[in-house]
């Protein structure tokens, strides 16, 4: 038993290796893209819609509402990034009920990659909202002495994001594997059902935290812009 | 090592590709179609609101028409009631008039019949009374009715009040040259004729006896009557019967009055 799907290598060439993480990531990507394409080929604007369109609208609408609740502003700029985080992690975890499937989110490389995406998305959205100088000034708030702590805080939350998701998914997979060898009839099924729940919860937590980090930068930006406008008006 | 740097880089690229693909195939079409549906629903709501406004206007118009019809109906009903009341009053007044007219005609008829009845009664009663008196006088006093009537007439003629004597004498003098009729129910005996003429001669010495004509009239109710232009002197049972008629009329009028009061 491998601790991470990175260790299941199907093909190796030089320094490049094709492991299970990449294979199942592409599988999940394929399912998502092909499924979306199949459904969105024949969209209907009327009140009579297909089940697939209904499912996708419920998912997209739910994500959009969650984003709007957090940032209290239009969710359109954040929807692709946050929504993809949630959908990818959730589907990666849900597919773990398929025998032989290894969730990519059980790989610390995948969770680290997703956390790095969030790590870079936060300043990108912040800079997009406020500009480079305005974004960097928040590291000096409330006092320039806080600069190292703010930087450490950014890194630590990225590590926390990655390790939390990896730990939960990997532990679930490991528990099911161990229980299969100990009590193969009943408990693995229960743990798989529990795994479905924790998988969706972890996806929700990851996406919400990412949105909160981005929103924190946006809210700082809003507060500063409000104070700037007040100063300019005053 | 749990983290493979190449896998991390590959997963970052994979994730970015997935974001782009889902943006192309999922978020953009879904959000567009939802916006389109929202616009469609908003348009439908706007149309529905417009239709509702039109419907409310129509409902208001119909309500006003209904109120107008109700007012008109009430007005027509009131007019019909007034006309019916007026017609009813007219009919009642007409009926009252007809009843009054009928009642008046009936009363007139009753009065006529009463007069006829009393006349007949007076005639019959007079005759019957005369026959009865004749029998009574004959049975009690062996007297003749006609003789007693003549005696009574002569006595009245002899004992006229002073004022009436003047009137008689004036009338006799005015009727000079005319025939003076002394009518009676029965043939006057000659001795009684002479007595009457003697008395009349005392009042009018200038009058000759030949101007006085004694006439028998069976319709006269048992009595003697002297008629001079401007004066009349008589003794008949009719005088007593007239009193009876007066009494009967009083009783009759009293009964009629009670009938009228009883409705």
Task: State the nearest Cα–Cα gap between A92 and chain B, in angstroms.
Answer: 12
For a pLDDT cut of 70, what percent of chain A falls above it?
91
B24 domain-assigned: no
B201 domain-assigned: yes
Which chain A residue has the Cα nearest residue B36? A45
For residue range A122-159, what is the model confidence (pLDDT) as tens digits? 889 888 888 888 888 888 878 888 888 888 988 888 78
Which residues of B are less than 8 Å from A14 in CB distance?
Answer: none
If you search the block for the tokens 């002899």, which residue do you land on? B158
Q: How many domains does chain B have?
A: 1
**CA B18 to chain CA mean position, Å:** 113
Which residues of B are less than 8 Å from A40 in CB distance?
Answer: 25-26, 29-30
Of B16, B7, B12, B2, whose CA–CA distance to A19 is shortest?
B7
B29 domain-assigned: no
List helix spans (H) across chain A. Answer: 20-40, 51-71, 79-94, 108-130, 132-137, 147-182, 187-233
Question: Does A33 contact B27 at a Cβ distance shorter than 8 Å?
Answer: no
Question: Does B12 contact A113 at a Cβ distance shorter than 8 Å?
Answer: yes
Instruction: Give φ, ψ of A185 to 5 degrees.
Output: -90, -50
Q: Is the CB of residue B18 less than 8 Å away from at least one CB of chain A? A: yes
What range defines the domain where residue B235 resides?
144-253
Which chain A residue has the Cα nearest residue B35? A45
Which residues of B are less than 8 Å from A165 in CB distance?
Answer: none
- Asked whether A213 and A138 are in contact (CB, 8 A), the reply is no
Q: Is the CB of residue A205 less than 8 Å away from at least one CB of chain B? A: no
B185 domain-assigned: yes
ipTM, 2 decimals? 0.87
B223 domain-assigned: yes
Question: Does B15 contact A87 at a Cβ distance shorter than 8 Å?
Answer: no
Task: State the nearest Cα–Cα gap between A15 and chain B, in angstroms.
Answer: 9
Q: What is the largest CA-CA distance in chain A?
A: 73
Q: Is the CB of residue B48 less than 8 Å away from at least one CB of chain A? A: no
**pLDDT confidence of residue A198:** 86
Which residues of B are less than 8 Å from A3 in CB distance?
Answer: 2
Mean pLDDT score, A30-55: 90
Question: Does B6 contact A57 at a Cβ distance shorter than 8 Å?
Answer: no
B247 domain-assigned: yes
Name the A residues in 178-197 with CB < 8 Å from any B CB. none
B227 domain-assigned: yes
Rounded distance, CA A61 to CA B27, Å?
Answer: 10
Question: Does B33 contact A45 at a Cβ distance shorter than 8 Å?
Answer: yes
Mutation target to probe the A interface, by most A beta carbons within 10 A, among B1, B6, B7, B23 is B7
Task: State the nearest Cα–Cα gap between A135 and chain B, in angstroms.
Answer: 23
Name the A residues in 102-131 with CB < 8 Å from any B CB. 104, 107-110, 112-114, 116-117
Q: Is the CB of residue A60 less than 8 Å away from at least one CB of chain B? A: yes
- Asked whether B171 and B231 are in contact (CB, 8 A), the reply is yes
Which residues of A are less than 8 Å from B3 in CB distance?
Answer: 108-109, 112
* Residue A18 binned pLDDT confidence (cut-offs 50, 70, 90): confident
B27 domain-assigned: no
Question: Strand ranges (DSSP E) for chain A?
Answer: 9-13, 16-19
Question: Does B8 contact A112 at a Cβ distance shorter than 8 Å?
Answer: yes
Tokens in use for B154? 């002569």
Digitized pLDDT (tens) for each residue of chain B, 263 residues in all: 578 888 999 999 999 999 999 999 999 999 999 999 989 999 999 999 999 999 999 999 999 999 999 999 999 999 999 999 999 999 999 999 999 999 889 888 988 888 888 888 877 888 888 888 889 888 888 888 888 888 888 888 888 888 888 888 888 888 777 778 888 888 888 888 888 888 888 887 877 777 788 888 877 777 888 888 878 888 888 778 788 888 888 888 888 788 777 76
Tokens in use for A210? 């990412």
Of A127, A103, A202, whose CA–CA distance to A160 is shortest?
A202
Question: Does B40 contact A45 at a Cβ distance shorter than 8 Å?
Answer: yes
């Amino acid at each position: 038993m491998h601790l991470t799907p990175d260790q299941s290598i199907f093909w190796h060439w030089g320094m490049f290796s094709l492991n299970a993480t990449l294979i199942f990531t592409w599988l999940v990507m394929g399912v998502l893209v092909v499924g979306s394409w199949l459904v969105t080929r024949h969209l209907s604007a009327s009140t009579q819609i297909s089940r697939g369109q209904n499912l996708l609208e419920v998912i997209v609408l739910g994500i959009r509402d969650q984003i709007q609740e957090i940032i209290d502003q239009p969710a359109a700029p954040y929807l692709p990034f946050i929504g993809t985080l949630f959908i990818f992690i959730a589907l990666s975890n849900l597919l773990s009920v398929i025998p032989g499937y290894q969730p990519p989110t059980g790989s610390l490389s995948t969770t680290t990659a997703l956390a790095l995406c969030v790590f870079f998305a936060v300043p990108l959205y912040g800079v997009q909202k406020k500009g480079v100088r305005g974004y960097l000034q928040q590291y000096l708030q409330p006092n320039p002495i806080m600069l190292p702590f703010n930087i450490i805080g950014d890194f630590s939350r990225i590590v926390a994001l990655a390790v939390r998701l990896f730990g939960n998914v990997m532990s679930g997979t490991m528990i099911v594997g161990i229980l299969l060898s100990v009590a193969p009839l009943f408990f693995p099924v229960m743990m798989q059902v529990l795994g479905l729940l924790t998988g969706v919860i972890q996806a929700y937590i990851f996406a919400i935290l990412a949105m909160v980090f981005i929103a924190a930068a946006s809210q700082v930006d809003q507060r500063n812009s409000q104070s700037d406008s007040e100063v300019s008006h005053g | 090592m749990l983290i493979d740097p190449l896998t991390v880089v590959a997963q970052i690229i994979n994730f970015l590709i997935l974001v782009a693909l889902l943006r192309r195939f999922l978020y953009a079409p879904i959000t567009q179609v939802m916006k389109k549906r929202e616009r469609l629903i908003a348009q439908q709501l706007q149309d529905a609101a417009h239709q509702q406004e039109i419907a409310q206007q129509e409902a208001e118009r119909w309500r006003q028409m209904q109120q107008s019809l109700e007012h008109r109906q009430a007005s027509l009903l009131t007019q019909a009631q007034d006309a019916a009341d007026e017609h009813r009053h007219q009919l009642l007044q007409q009926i009252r008039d007809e009843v009054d007219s009928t009642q008046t005609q009936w009363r007139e008829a009753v009065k006529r019949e009463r007069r006829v009845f009393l006349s007949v009664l007076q005639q019959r009663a007079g005759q019957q009374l005369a026959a009865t008196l004749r029998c009574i006088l004959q049975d009690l006093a062996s007297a003749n009715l006609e003789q007693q009537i003549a005696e009574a007439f002569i006595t009245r003629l002899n004992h006229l009040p002073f004022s009436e004597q003047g009137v008689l004498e004036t009338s006799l003098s005015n009727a000079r040259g005319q025939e003076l009729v002394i009518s009676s129910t029965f043939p006057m005996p000659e001795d009684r004729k002479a007595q009457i003429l003697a008395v009349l001669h005392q009042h009018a010495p200038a009058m000759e006896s030949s101007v006085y004509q004694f006439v028998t009239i069976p319709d006269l109710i048992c009595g003697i009557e002297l008629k001079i232009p401007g004066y009349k002197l008589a003794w008949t049972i009719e005088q007593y019967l007239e009193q009876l008629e007066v009494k009967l009329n009083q009783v009759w009028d009293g009964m009629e009055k009670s009938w009228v009061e009883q409705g």
